[in-house]
Amino acid sequence: MAHTLLAFHAHPDDEALLTAGTMARAAAQGHRVILVVATDGNEGLASGSFAADGRLGERRMDELRESARALGVARVEHLGYADSGLGPATMPDPPGQTRFVRADTNAAAGRLANLLLEESVDVLLTYDANGGYGHRDHLQAHRVATRAAELAHTPRVLQATVPRDTICRAIALVGKVYRFPAAFDPATFQRAFSPKAAITHRVNVIRFAPAKRASMRAHASQASAEGGADRTLAAFLRIPRPLYDVVFGREWFVDPAHPPGAPVARDVFAGLP
């Protein structure tokens, strides 16, 4: 039986890192896949060639649509909020928009719930309680998605994450063959994402590693910063295959409703009617 999966992310490119394999797998199995972002990512880091004219958000939405095509996504939507940025202080709201972190949670959840109801969504993918690595928009996305699922009575909410020990081992492995950018701090991952014991779903997406790599490649604006220095996305794309497939061949989720002691599920749709 075909189901509908909706992946809700804070910015364009977030889907490539956390849920692209699961989305591609679901689409290949005949399920309807929808991708929704809260913001257009206009405040993201990017070189001047992408951001100098103030149209970074437009370019990132184009990149998102290219990523969606690579993954087999049927529909792409933007909730209409502005990117809250990375700096220590949130910038003033741009004309006619609200920074996502300042959005009223119930109002934002209502927008997302409307999509969940319109599409009769069975599985909603979002972030874990840590917001992955803790970006303010990721934390807000977790809150908004949780409330939206309550409003729409969505059958299953899965929080995309990575087991901390797994990602730390993967980073150490990649570090043996590639020098990460100076700004990249592997220690931050020791405090991010979720503990291994919390994982309820482990999805094998190794067959869809090429689609995941294409999704990452679509986000060209996020591969380099000012001065041409590589960012994390570029570092990941430099990983040679088949090492890339090993590193990115699994995706992990936490289901708060998963029965305690139940075995780790292998399919995000397992157990649904």
Q: For the residues of 135-183, what is the DSSP string, one character each?
A: -HHHHHHHHHHHHHHHHHT-SEEEEEE-BHHHHHHHHHHHHTT----TT
Residue 11 lies in a domain: yes
Least confident of 104-118, 139-153, 186-200, 216-230: 216-230
**What is this structure's pTM?**
0.91
Q: Does residue 92 fall inside a structural domain?
A: yes
Distance CA 249, CA 266 (A): 13
What does the pLDDT read at residue 203?
Answer: 98
| Two tokens, residue 30 | 């005949």
DSSP states of 91-119 as a string?
PPPPTT--BGGGS-HHHHHHHHHHHHHHT
Whether residue 268 lies inside any domain: the answer is no
What percent of the chain stands above pLDDT 70?
94
Is 133 within the bounds of a domain? yes
Confidence of residue 160 (pLDDT cuts 50, 70, 90): very high
Q: Residue 74: what pLDDT? A: 98
Distance between CA atoms of 168 and 154, rounded to whole angstroms? 33
What type of residue sits at position 20?
Answer: A
DSSP SS3 for 204: strand
Structure tokens at 148: 């939206």
262 assigned to some structural domain: no
Q: 267 in a domain, yes or no?
A: no
Q: Give me the domain span that covers residue 213.
A: 4-254
Mean pLDDT, range 28-37, rounded to an integer:
98
Q: How many domains does the chain have?
A: 1
pLDDT confidence band for 178 (50 / 70 / 90): low
What CATH number has the domain bearing residue 151? Answer: 3.40.50.10320
Establish if 269 belongs to a structural domain.
no
Which residue, among 104, 200, 113, 210, has the nearest Cα to 161 in the 3D structure? 200
Inform me whether the pLDDT recorded for 103 exceeds 90: yes
Tens digit of each residue's pLDDT (9 = 90 or more) over 45-62: 777 667 767 788 899 999
Residue 223 lies in a domain: yes
3-state secondary structure of 47: coil
- Measure the CA–CA gap between 37 and 11, rounded to whole angstroms: 6
